[in-house]
Homo-oligomer: A and B are copies of this chain.
Amino acid sequence: MEIWKRYSEKEVSHSMAHYLQTVAQLKAEKGHARVGDIAEYLGVSKSGVTSMLRSLEKRGLVRHERYGCVELTDEGSGFASRTESSRRVLSMFLTEILGVAEDVATEDACMIEHLVSPEVSIELLRLTTFIRSKHPAAALFRDAYRTSPRSCKEHEPGACDLCGATCLRESLITPIGRAPVRI
């Protein structure tokens, strides 16, 4: 199977991940999660919630009886907390290490939280923790990195072997539909 097709075969979809997180959140906040709460929290219609709950129940991720409260199964709660942790790690990395603006970081983390492998999240946590640590090499690194070059032109010769023929950075900052911006 082509890799890109596995997208639709992920254990949980983007929507599902957010439903599960919402149930966990509501449960923690108010002790129970009801259809109306979920609908309001996510900004979808109650009927949308009802039908999503049917899918989640079929997959064994929640329990839900007609007109009753929603409960996460162990598996559902595992997904919820894994995605939640993944989001927190991503957010932290994006804002504190990469220095990306908070709103961008929040949005990106929300988009990809359910797609990154546990291995990647774990290593990202390790990297983030280490860079922020009091280890002398980390402190030195933070100082040096703060002033490291932002454009390819400033790279030391050879550093840009990442880029190959065309500068990656240029193609990344190219506004869609226009010629690459020279920097």
Contacts and interface: CB of A to CB of B under 8 A. Distances in A.
Interface of A: 1-7, 10-11, 14-15, 18, 42-43, 73-75, 78-79, 81-82, 84-86, 88-89, 92, 94, 97-101, 104-108, 110-112, 115-130, 132-138, 140-141, 143-145, 148-150, 155-156, 159-160, 162, 168-169, 171-178
Contacts of A134: 156, 159
Contact of A132 (B79, B117, B143, B159): B159
Q: How many copies does the complex hold?
A: 2
A89 B168 contact: yes
- Binding site of A, secondary structure by majority: helix, strand, loop or mixed? helix
Contacts of A6: 107, 111
Nearest to A13: B7
A105 to B, nearest CB: 8
The residue in A6, A15, A82, A129 that gathers the most chain B C-beta atoms within 10 A of its C-beta is: A129
A6 to B, nearest CB: 7
11 contacts: A2-B42, A4-B15, A79-B176, A82-B174, A85-B171, A86-B172, A104-B117, A115-B115, A125-B162, A135-B148, A137-B140
A4 B107 CA distance: 8
B173 A150 contact: no
A123 B150 CA distance: 8
Contacts of A133: 148, 155-156, 159
